[in-house]
């Protein structure tokens, strides 16, 4: 199966690594060409000079870019990906995108005989490395059957969310919950540290009680208490995701004040801490505001 992979970022490169073997014949393209060359030095893949060249004769084109805006830019940009997609091929967009843009891309592609599936992933770089991501996809079942082997190469739990855009919606809400957990657990632990409770003791209780979450069980112990803060998922991307969830709620005429406040705080953290820090570093903003260190 001829596959093109576009976007070898923190998670994209790990997903693509599972496609660099039989039965796939893989072509890769990345905006920063050195990353594609480094990838091909380690894996069996052809480095394409452009997104269009990668897609030439590909049956499946996988994209994993920051947001739907970059997906559109690559489709319509000078690279001319749109014109290079083969009729009968499928664009599998693993970007955590926004539902409205995905629907508009799907409509545009369908006029060219190309199918579109939004297929955002969760599980982070650890699951991407082991090929056990959760994949939530939106689109037609018959289109999905054609890309199933590709999705199964990096995914373990594979769930049909609904029509095109439903995968994006589900992903955005999941990540909005992640943002709320990071902010609320960070604030809770900051209170406890200031009140004189050791954060390890606090987590021992919280993680045996109803306040627990993946944030309290894994992220805070492994990344905050240790002060390691590894970069696996940029805060800027989480800010983008909660923004998608908020926009969706607005579009649906809903009242979601908790989500809106969390979105505002994440946006603030992004402007203070910058584009390159990891998402868990949002806790640093809470620490600074309150003069405490959770360690
Ligand atoms: P990164 O920021 O690490 O990588 C982004 C990729 O997109 C890079 O290859 C970058 O190229 C490329 N890119 C950015 N802008 C453009 C552009 N204008 N034109 C062409 N290429 C561009 O992101 P991740 O790999 O972490 O995330 C990718 C997607 O997956 C996002 O939607 C994210 O929300 C989602 N995701 C990420 C997870 C994670 O743990 N990291 C977990 C689950 C979902 P270049 O190398 O040139 O910068």
> Could you report the per-residue pLDDT of 237-246, keeping only the tens digit for each?
999 999 999 9
Nearest CA to ligand 1 atom 42: 124
pLDDT tens for each residue of 132-184: 999 999 999 999 999 999 999 999 999 999 999 999 999 999 999 999 999 99
**pLDDT given for residue 80 in this prediction:** 81
**pLDDT given for residue 79 in this prediction:** 64
With beta carbons less than 8 A apart as the criterion, state whether 138 and 163 touch: yes
Nearest CA to ligand 1 atom 43: 122
Which phi and psi (to 5°) does residue 133 adopt? Answer: -70, 155
Which phi and psi (to 5°) does residue 201 adopt? Answer: -65, -40
Whole-angstrom distance, CA of residue 164 vs CA of residue 143: 11
| Structure letter (DSSP) for residue 86 | P
**What's the pTM value of the predicted model, to 2 decimals?**
0.97
Whole-angstrom distance, CA of residue 265 vs CA of residue 224: 18
| Assigned token pair, 220 | 């805070």
Query: Please, which residues have CB within 8 angstroms of residue 9's CB and are 6 or more apart in sequence?
Result: 30, 64, 65, 66
With beta carbons less than 8 A apart as the criterion, state whether 180 and 259 touch: yes
With beta carbons less than 8 A apart as the criterion, state whether 118 and 97 touch: yes
- Nearest atom (ligand 1) to Cα of 77: 19
Q: Report the residue among 6, 8, 11 best suited for mutation to probe ligand 1: largest number of ligand atoms under 8 A from its CB.
A: 11
Residue 200 burial (CB count, 10 A): 11
Q: Check whether 78 has a pLDDT greater than 90.
A: no
**pLDDT given for residue 77 in this prediction:** 86
Q: Are strands 121-122 and 133-138 parallel, antiparallel or unpaired?
A: antiparallel
- Report the number of secondary-structure helices (H) and strands (E) in the chain: 14, 9
Cβ 65 under 6 angstroms from ligand 1: yes
């Amino acid at each position: 199966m001829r596959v093109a992979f576009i976007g070898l970022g923190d998670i994209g490169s790990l997903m693509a690594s599972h496609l660099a073997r039989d039965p796939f014949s893989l072509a890769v393209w990345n905006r920063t060409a050195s990353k594609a060359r480094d990838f091909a030095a380690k894996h069996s893949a052809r480095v394409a000079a452009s997104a269009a060249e990668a897609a030439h004769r590909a049956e499946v084109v996988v994209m994993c870019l920051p947001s739907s805006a970059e997906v559109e830019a690559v489709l319509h940009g000078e690279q001319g990906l749109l014109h290079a997609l083969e009729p009968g091929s499928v664009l599998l967009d693993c970007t955590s995108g926004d539902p409205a843009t995905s629907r508009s891309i799907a409509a545009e592609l369908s006029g060219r005989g190309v199918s579109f599936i939004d297929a955002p992933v969760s599980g982070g770089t650890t699951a991407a490395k082991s090929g056990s991501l959760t994949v939530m996809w939106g689109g037609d079942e018959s289109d999905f059957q054609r890309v199933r082997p590709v999705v199964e190469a990096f995914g373990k739990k594979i769930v049909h969310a609904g029509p095109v855009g439903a995968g994006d919606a589900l992903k955005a809400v999941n990540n909005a919950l992640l943002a709320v957990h990071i902010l609320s657990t960070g604030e809770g632990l900051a209170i406890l540290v200031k009140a004189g409770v050791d954060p390890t003791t606090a987590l021992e209780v919280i993680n045996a009680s109803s306040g627990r979450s993946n944030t309290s069980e894994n992220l805070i112990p492994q990344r905050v208490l240790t002060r390691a803060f590894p970069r696996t998922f940029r805060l800027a991307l989480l800010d983008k995701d909660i923004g998608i969830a908020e926009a969706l709620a607005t579009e649906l005429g809903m009242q979601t004040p908790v989500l809106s406040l969390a979105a505002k705080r994440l946006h603030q953290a992004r402007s203070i801490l910058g584009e390159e820090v990891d998402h868990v570093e949002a806790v640093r903003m809470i620490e600074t505001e309150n003069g405490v260190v959770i360690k």
